Amino acid sequence: MPNPPKPTKSQKAQARAERAAELIRQQQAAERRRNLLVVAGVVVAMVLIVGVLFFVNASRDSADDIDAAPAGQSDFGLTIGDSGAPHDVVIYEDFLCPFCGQLERESSDQLDKLAKEGKVQVEYRPFNLLQTDYSVAAANAFAVLLDKEGPEVAKKFHDLIYADQPSESGEQPGADWLLEKAVDAGADEAAVKPGIEGLTEKDWVEDATKAAADAGVSSTPTILLDGKAYQDGRTIEEIADNLVAELE
Amino acid sequence: MRQWLGLVARLVTGGVWIYAGAVKLPDPYASVQAVRAYELLPASAAEAVGYLLPPLEIVVGLALVLGLLTRGAAAVSAVLFVVFIIGIASVWARGMEIDCGCFGGGGYDPDAQSSYPWEIARDAALLLASLYLVWLRRSRLALDDLLFRRTTSPTHEG
C-alpha cells in the first residue's frame, strides 16, 4: 500500500465531501422538480374538474332557452301595439311577485308610449307562478275583464293592481278588492262580479300557467325581447331602463 | 398539537365548503339567481359566478378535507370568505333583505336583517380557520405528506 502524503488525504476528504454535497444538491433539485410537477398536476386536475362542472352547469341551466310564441300570438296574454312594430316584447309575470310589480312601475308607462308610437308590440302574460290564492284570483279577474270588457279595461286593471300591489309576505286582499279595482279600471260591476267572485276563469289561469311552464319560463318576471330572454342589468330598475332604451 | 388543530380546521372548513357546493350544484339556475339577488354584478358576470361557485366550493372543500395542496386551498378559501363577507355586509348596508344563498336558496327573505350578523360571524370564523391553515403550513393526516415526502435531509425551505 502506498504511503499517501497528508495533503492528499485532506484533498481526498474534501473531494468526497464535495461529491456528497453535489449528490444532495442534485437530489434536492430532483425533489423540487418532482414536487413542482405534482403541484402542477394536482392544480391542473382541480381546474379541469371545476371547468368541466362549470360548463355542465352552464349547459344544464335552461333559463335562457325559452321557446315561447312571439308577442300577440299566445292565447293567454294581453297585447298592446301593432304587430308590424320592429320589436317584440313578451313579459311573463305573476301578479304577486314583487319584482314584477317593480318592473311594471318602472316600465309600464314607457312601454305604453312606445307601443302607441309603433316602436314595439308588447304582450303581457300573467300566470300563477307563486302558487298563491292571490296569484290565481288576480289572474282570474284579469281574464274575466279581458273576456267581458276587452283589452283596454284589462290593461288598466293590470296596471292598477300592480301600482297598488299587495305584499308577498303579508295578507293578500280577496275578490272584493279585485272587483273594486276592476270597477276603477272602467268595468261594469254587474258584468264582471260573478266571474271575479266565482273564479270562472280558473281554467284559463291553469292553462296559462301550463303554457308558461311548457315554454320554459321558471321565474318572473321573464322578459323576452324579440324572442330572447332579456336580463341586461343588475337590478329590475336597470333592466327596465335598458329595455326601454333598447326600444327607443 | 397545533397540527391536530390544523386537521380540525381543515375538516370543519372543508366540510362546510363541500356541503355548500353540493347543495347548490344540482340547480345552476337557482345559484345564478342567488348571485343576482346581491345586485352587485351585471347579468352576464352574475351568471358566470353562479355557475362557477358550486364546483369551486366543492373542489376547495375536498382539497381541505384531504389535505391536498392545503396551503393553496386554504388561501383560496380565505379569499372566498372575504368576498362573501363583503357581499353580505354590502346587502346589509344597503338595507336589502335577501337570503345569502350560502347553502342554496337565495332571493328575498323577510327575516334577512336578523341573520346577516350571524352569517358574517360564521364566515369570519371560517376565514380565521383558513388563515390559520395558511400560516400553519402542515397539519396531521394530510395527503400532502404522502405526495411531498422528503427523500433528502430537510432544508429551511418548506
* Tens-level pLDDT at each residue, chain A (248 residues): 566 556 688 888 999 999 999 999 999 899 899 999 999 999 999 999 999 999 998 888 766 677 888 888 888 999 999 989 999 999 999 999 999 999 999 999 999 999 999 999 999 999 999 889 999 999 999 999 999 999 999 999 999 999 999 998 888 999 999 999 999 999 999 999 999 999 999 999 999 999 998 888 888 899 999 988 898 888 888 899 999 999 98
> Which residues in chain B are closer than 8 Å to A49, comparing Cβ atoms?
55, 59
What are the backbone dihedrals phi and psi of residue B76, each rounded to the nearest 5 degrees, phi first? -60, -45
Q: What is the mean pLDDT of residues B66-87?
A: 96
pLDDT at B158: 39
Does A84 lie in the same domain as A29? no
pLDDT at A229: 87
Give the residues across from A124 on adjacent strands. A78, A91
Three-class DSSP category at B98:
strand
Does A179 lie in the same domain as A91? yes
Which cell is A209 given? 300557467
Asked whether residue A68 is domain-assigned, the answer is: no
What does each C-alpha distance from A165 to A13, A133, A181, B128 come to in angstroms?
Answer: 94, 14, 11, 45
Asked whether residue A73 is domain-assigned, the answer is: no
The yes-or-no verdict on residue B78 having pLDDT over 90 is: yes
pLDDT at B157: 45
Which residues, 6+ apart, have CB-to-CB distance to B94 below 8 Å?
B39
Give the model confidence (pLDDT) of A128-180 as tens digits: 998 899 999 999 999 999 999 999 999 999 999 999 999 988 889 999 999 99
pLDDT above 70 as % of chain B? 94
What one-character-per-residue DSSP string does A109-176 give? HHHHHHHHTTSEEEEEEE--SS--HHHHHHHHHHHHHHHHT-HHHHHHHHHHHHHTPPPSSSPPP-HH
> Which residues in chain B are closer than 8 Å to A233, comparing Cβ atoms?
42-43
What does R_g of chain B's alpha carbons equal in angstroms?
A: 17
In a mutational test of the B interface, the residue from A37, A47, A53, A102 whose CB has the highest number of chain B CBs within 10 Å is A53
pLDDT at A2: 61
What does each C-alpha distance from A43 to A31, A39, A164, B139, B156 come to in angstroms?
Answer: 18, 6, 55, 20, 25
Which domain does A42 fall in, by range? 1-61
CA closest to A43 among chain B residues:
B69
- Write the single-letter amino acid at A94: D
Whether A54 contacts chain B with CB within 8 A = yes
> Which residues in chain B are closer than 8 Å to A46, comparing Cβ atoms?
59, 63, 69
- Residues A121-150 as b/e (b if ≥16 CB within 10 A, e otherwise) read bbbbbbbbbeebebbbbbbbbbbbbbebbe
Asked whether residue A50 is domain-assigned, the answer is: yes
Does A144 lie in the same domain as A57? no
ipTM associated with this complex: 0.87
Asked whether residue A70 is domain-assigned, the answer is: no
Give the residues across from B108 on adjacent strands. B98
How many structural domains are present in chain A?
A: 2
CA closest to A239 among chain B residues:
B43
> Which comes out higher in pLDDT, residue B134 or B109?
B134
Asked whether residue A49 is domain-assigned, the answer is: yes
pLDDT at A5: 58
Does A229 lie in the same domain as A112? yes
Does A23 lie in the same domain as A132? no
pLDDT at A6: 61
Asked whether residue A171 is domain-assigned, the answer is: yes
Asked whether residue A19 is domain-assigned, the answer is: yes
Does A195 lie in the same domain as A130? yes
Does A180 lie in the same domain as A87? yes
Does A140 lie in the same domain as A42? no
Does A21 lie in the same domain as A110? no
What does each C-alpha distance from B29 to A211, A218, B25, B83, B127 come to in angstroms?
Answer: 20, 9, 10, 21, 27
pLDDT above 90 as % of chain B? 63
Secondary structure letter of residue A53 according to DSSP: H
Whether A242 contacts chain B with CB within 8 A = no
Does A50 lie in the same domain as A87? no
CA closest to A64 among chain B residues:
B29
Q: What is the dihedral of CA A24, A25, A28, A29, to 10 degrees?
A: -150
Asked whether residue A32 is domain-assigned, the answer is: yes
Does A86 lie in the same domain as A49? no
Does A231 lie in the same domain as A179? yes
In a mutational test of the A interface, the residue from B17, B31, B32, B77 whose CB has the highest number of chain A CBs within 10 Å is B32
**B59 → closest Cβ in A30, A50, A218:** A50
Three-class DSSP category at B5:
helix
CATH number at residue A188: 3.40.30.10
Are B141 and B9 in contact by the 8 Å Cβ rule? The answer is no
